[in-house]
Structure 1
């Protein structure tokens, strides 16, 4: 049951987002902190949240656009659509990090 709850929380915590033109990327540490905090606020354990953020933040920082990263930091629990260019990398990162943290997706 905890695995399903975490998976649901992880999927909500770093949602798909709507983007506009590209810009500079925010600090990876800010992204990590936003993801971890949102997961804890949504009910994940601190250990799960930290492990997911440790996995996801560096990968997201490398692969997603600056605008997407800024939106995640501003509103990690937001409910917007990811720019088409970021959909596949976002989904791949989310799935890989859930598998790493939970042992399954």
Structure 2
């Protein structure tokens, strides 16, 4: 009997959406999105983070000004409870996805051992 692994992946996607961790992430994201100040700070954080990551991937150095800007926005994030909750929820979902990834890749790892 052939296994359609894509059906399994689609079911996993649906199951992920129904986890408490994902529901917490969704609620935390909506709380940030619906708060003007938190949303503005979070958008600025993502923009700074993306700029720095792009520079690093291209082998470019991050300027002192960009590093200072990243430090300032990190301070703002630490002061905002809504964003802190969002980042914690992201961390929980990320950990769950890492755990799932370990299970999914187990046959490949075992093959090379």
What TM-score results when the alignment is normalised by the length of structure 1? Answer: 0.31
Structure ID, larger Rg: 2
Q: Which structure has the highest helix share of the two?
A: 2
Structure having greater relative contact order (Cα 8 Å, sep ≥ 6): 1
- TM value normalised by structure 2: 0.29
